[in-house]
Amino acid sequence: MAITLKPWACHPAQSRGRRHTEAPAPTRDDFQRDRDRIVHSTAFRRLVYKTQVFLNHEGDLFRTRLTHSLEVAQLARSIARTMGLNEDLCEAISLAHDFGHTPFGHAGQDALDECLRRVEPESGGFEHNFQSLRVVDVLEERYAAFDGLNLTFETREGILKHCSRRHADELERADPGGVGHRFLARTQPSLEAQVCNLADEIAYNAHDIDDGVRSGLIEQEQLLAVLPLFARFHAEALREAPALAGKRLLYDTIRRMLSAQVYDVVAASSALIREHVPANVDVVRASPPLIGFSPGMRGDVEQIKAFLRHELYRHPRVVATTDGAKQVVRGLFEAYSTQPGELPAGHAVADYIAGMTDRFALREHERLTGTVPSWVR
């Protein structure tokens, strides 16, 4: 079914284009082409062996960066389709949004950031969003004519979700008015980029509850006691199916929470758009954020985030493995910095480590240091 894009959506024919000019593809528009380039990239295949919250070796059913990215794409596409926004662009942004993540999730990123700041205080450290852009702009090696994937401005704008002042300045110097500009001018990205940001948040809140319960680190009773949104849909699920229990009850509750958040975003954002009626995406960029939850749902979502922070991300068992993971990243950084001959030619230490999967990082760590961390079973 052909869907008419709203005037405030990103229209492929009005794209700000690619950094290197290319002839149009005969069967696909530019955002569909971006999505396809992303799916065929090396960085995309690496996502399957990268940690989301639980380290990759802890179990086969936990989310990885790949399944997380697919869930973000599903949510973002669903919101975009309903709102007359560009579904292909949302898919492209979602599938690439975590390309810059190091092995071992946030622990790996924190360790790499510390190492980089210590040896290169002027570098601005390591930021995964900035690194995601580096992957698609520079690090992928697939084309004869250019480095990177040569994606459109709109996809790159969405991938660069956050950016420090220092990195924004660096981007602006290289490409005035480019994707770094909005962090200096404090303007917004396209609605599609805003949808992907929110879909990311909806996805990880839901799947971290699921993975947290699966791991045994959090209990359904805790969720019921402290999260009104969870309690509301748990009660609704039991009203409709009183015999429901255990995992199925958890899944049913999470499914209802996900739908409620999507409907809430669509309703609240559509109301904001009706109020502003942006004539096109450039007016969107100059407007306040137009994609968001209603104030009530925002409150519920903040409660979920606070709960996960305290009960899951800072759980002693999670912290113990993430501390171990940091040591692996520090060990690798140290080893490559003192023995640059161990790096493949033309690679920078931070880019090389950031690109690793969890298990490749562990293998390299063992090869270079002769040690296997005790937390690896």
Return the number of the residue (71 or 252) whose C-beta is nearest Mg ion: 71
CA dihedral 25, 26, 30, 34 (to 10 degrees): -60
Of 79, 42, 40, the residue nearest 200 (C-alpha): 79
Closer by beta carbon to Mg ion, 200 or else 211: 200
Choice between 52 and 86, CB closer to Mg ion: 52
Longest dimension (CA), the chain: 64
Single out the residue of 55, 34, 76, 101 nearest to residue 319, CA to CA: 55
- Whose Cβ is closer to Mg ion: residue 87's or residue 200's? 200
Minimum separation from the CB atom of position 193 to Mg ion (A) = 13
Residue 31 beta carbon to Mg ion: minimum distance, rounded to whole angstroms: 20
Within 10 Å of residue 282's Cβ, how many Cβ atoms? Answer: 14
Residue pair 308/302 in contact by the 8 Å Cβ criterion: no
Distance in Å, CB of 364 to Mg ion, minimum: 25
Are 303 and 209 in contact by the 8 Å Cβ rule? The answer is no
Site string for Mg ion, 191-210 (x = CB under 5 A): ---------x----------
User: Rounded to the nearest whole angstrom, what is the least distance from the CB of residue 210 to Mg ion in the complex?
Assistant: 15
User: Is the CB of 161 or the CB of 234 nearer to Mg ion?
Assistant: 161
Q: How far is the CB of 15 from Mg ion (least distance, A)?
A: 24
The residue whose Cβ lies closest to Mg ion is: 200
φ, ψ dihedrals at 370, nearest 5°:
75, 10
Of 200 and 208, CB closest to Mg ion:
200
Residue 37 tokens read as: 């380039």
By beta-carbon proximity to Mg ion, the closer residue of 98 and 364 is 98
Site for Mg ion in 143-202 (CB under 5 A): 200
Number of residues engaging Mg ion in binding (CB under 5 A): 2
User: Least distance to Mg ion from the beta carbon of 121, Å?
Assistant: 28
Closest separation in Å from C-beta 98 to Mg ion: 5
Residue 192 or 200 with smaller CB distance to Mg ion: 200
Pick from 293, 295, 305: nearest CA to 205:
305
Closest to Mg ion by CB, 33 or 50: 50
What is the nearest approach in angstroms of Mg ion to the Cβ of residue 296? 24
Residues in 45-84 at the binding interface with Mg ion, rule: CB under 5 A: none
CB burial of residue 211 (10 Å; 0-12, 13-18, 19+): buried
Residue list 86-115, contact with Mg ion (CB under 5 A)? 98
Task: Write down the least CB distance from residue 76 to Mg ion, Å.
Answer: 11
Gyration radius from the chain CA atoms: 21
Residues in contact with Mg ion by the rule CB under 5 A: 98, 200
